[in-house]
Amino acid sequence: MSALPRPGKIIALHLNYPSRIAQRGRVPEFPSFFLKPPSSVAASGDVIERPAGTELLAYEGEIALIVGTRTRRVTPEEGWASISGITAANDWGVYDLRHVDKGSNLRNKGGDGFTPLGPEVIPAASVDPAALRVRTWVNGVLKQDDTTADLAFPFGTLVADLSQLITLEPGDVILTGTPAGSSVAAPGDVVEVEVDAPTASGAPSTGRLVTRVVQGTMPFAPYGAQPRVDDRQRIEAWGDAEAAGVAPSVLSEELRAKLASAAVATISAQLRKLGHPHASIDGVHPLVPGTKMIGAARTLRFVAHRPDLFESHGGGYNAQKRAFDSLAEGEVLVIEARGDASAGTVGDVLALRARVLGAAGIVTDGAARDSAAVAAIGIPAFAKGAHPSVLGRRHVPWETDTAITCGGAAVLPGDVIVGDDDGVVVIPRQLVAQVADAAAAQEAEDAWVAERVAEGHPVDGLFPLSGEWRRRYQEERR
């Protein structure tokens, strides 16, 4: 049983520490909150279950503010005075359930025992809110260590912002964000969080909030969403690609520049030389002529329409919406629609979402709906055609981040996609450096040949380069 009274409400902040903001790669303009149910509160020494069928139970050591007085419409300067105490918290979450309620975080953050608090409370009046420290240990190893010296949103600001519309009651708890170092815990791990004020008189501390992870045995029932993870969720849960065991993107800025200098036709020729003659996504064209697109592949697969399948997979936060919502900067979403362009597979709202997230492009071997609007949004988009119908006429959004076949070409997540007016090609990730180097070299050679042809030389022996012409080219290159 918790040593602290159960709060009326628990309000949690998404991002606050600069170290975590840098890790996430997005800078919040204003505080962003979500609610956790009071039933999620636990005490030091309690256990937390990693739900059966899940793999990404993540800890987040945090400072919890305990509201002391009824608070409504205070200023940031007045906000801290509304806090009676601080304690340690662990904002546990299951990333396997983010796909179904990432906005509310209800299930992935609200399970029983997912908000341990304590063990001791430090009086707020005895400490400087900008001189607190939060640390987290896993099996005795320090994983998180940060201070409140340079928070994006000071504690008084959080209270003031919330109190504009919400009356804060005595005993309410505000979780103030986690620093970098949050990661995944496994059954058998012991996770400890401590908050202290090392420069204050007496160096007050909450003591260590201890939680032991155990394995749950009760599977999720079929009437609710099932656990689901992908590499993006693994990276966010573990903190980085290396810790998650996910291969990082192979598309460095240097390689991107080389591919940008090469035509798709040149890249296609180099892939053919390497034994990949079927690397082109056939039948797709840019919605805006003159478009150049380069990025790492994310994938989305549609299956043919069937009423029962559309009922189970077509509504709500389906695979299509999840795919567009999870795009990262520099990624290209490649959609397998079986070459069926008799219904839309992307429209203006989803294309806008992709552009806002910084995605590098969209490719579909189906149709674009609202094609003029999609073209005007400014994100590179390649499609087989245009069609006014919604996808439910012909397609069911089925799954993301799996191997697909788009326009006759196999595409795996992480492959590099390059498109221009000639079409789109797929470069297997293990060949990107080799293809980029060869394509850049070929472009330089072709430019030299074009200059000689413009001077009036015949193409025999010059195109392709051979004999004396190649010797001359190599001499000039030296």
Q: In the chain, what are the domain boundaries? A: 10-242, 249-274+429-478, 280-427
Mean pLDDT of 448-456: 92
E strands, 59-196, in order = 61-67, 83-90, 93-94, 115-116, 122-123, 133-138, 141-147, 173-175, 190-196
Q: Which residue has the tokens 């788009």?
A: 406
Q: What is the per-residue pLDDT for 247?
A: 66
pLDDT one-digit tens code per residue, 323-333: 998 898 899 99
CA distance 438 to 427: 13
CA distance 360 to 413: 14
Say if residues 53 and 222 touch (Cβ distance below 8 Å): no
Say if residues 47 and 213 touch (Cβ distance below 8 Å): yes
E strands, 164-282, in order = 173-175, 190-196, 209-215, 280-281
Mind spelling out the 3-state secondary structure of 287-338? Answer: CCCCCCEEEEEEEEEEEECCHHHHHHHCCCCCHHHHHHHCCCCCEEEEEECC
Confidence of residue 300 (pLDDT cuts 50, 70, 90): very high
User: Which pair of structure tokens corresponds to residue 178?
Assistant: 């986690």
Judged by DSSP in three states, 62 sits in strand
pLDDT one-digit tens code per residue, 440-451: 999 988 899 999
pLDDT one-digit tens code per residue, 266-275: 999 999 999 9
Is there a common fold for 10-242 and 280-427? no
Q: Pick from 230, 268, 276, 227: which is nearest to 419 by CA?
A: 268
Judged by DSSP in three states, 341 sits in coil
Question: How far is CA 403 from each of CA 237, 335, 384, 409, 411, rounded to the nearest angstrom?
Answer: 23, 11, 20, 10, 6
Q: Which residue has the tokens 């003659």?
A: 277
User: Which pair of structure tokens corresponds to residue 277?
Assistant: 């003659």
Mean pLDDT of 232-239: 86
Mean pLDDT of 301-322: 93
CATH topology classification for 280-427: Glucose Oxidase; domain 1 (3.50.30)
Is the pLDDT confidence value at 228 over 80?
Answer: yes
Q: What is the per-residue pLDDT for 248?
A: 67
Judged by DSSP in three states, 204 sits in coil
Q: What is the per-residue pLDDT for 22?
A: 87
Stretch (H or E) spanning 20: helix 18-24
| Degrees, nearest 5: CA angle 73-79-80 | 165
Mean pLDDT of 362-375: 97
Say if residues 418 and 259 touch (Cβ distance below 8 Å): yes
Confidence of residue 3 (pLDDT cuts 50, 70, 90): low
Q: Pick from 203, 256, 306: which is nearest to 417 by CA?
A: 256
| Degrees, nearest 5: CA angle 385-387-393 | 120
CATH, domain range 10-242: 3.90.850.10
CA distance 296 to 303: 23
Among 25-29, 78-82, 170-174, 190-194, the range scoring the smallest mean pLDDT is 25-29
Q: Give the DSSP per-residue string, 386-431.
A: E-SS-GGGTEEEEEESS-EEETTEEE-TT-EEEEETTEEEEE-GGG
Which pTM value belongs to this model?
A: 0.62
Q: What is the per-residue pLDDT for 1?
A: 33
Mean pLDDT of 123-150: 97
pLDDT one-digit tens code per residue, 152-186: 999 999 999 999 999 999 999 999 999 999 999 99
Query: Nearest 5°: phi and psi at 395?
Result: -130, 155
**Which residues contact residue 392 at a Cβ distance below 8 angstroms, ignoring those fewer than 6 apart?**
305, 310, 314, 343
- Counting residues of the chain whose pLDDT is more than 70, the rounded percentage is 99
| Degrees, nearest 5: CA angle 283-288-294 | 75
Q: 41 - beta bridge partners?
A: 115
Say if residues 326 and 294 touch (Cβ distance below 8 Å): no
CA distance 413 to 426: 11
- What is the b/e burial string over 311-326, where b = at least 16 CB atoms within 10 angstroms of the residue's CB? eebbeeebbbebbbeb
Supply the mean pLDDT for the chain. Answer: 93
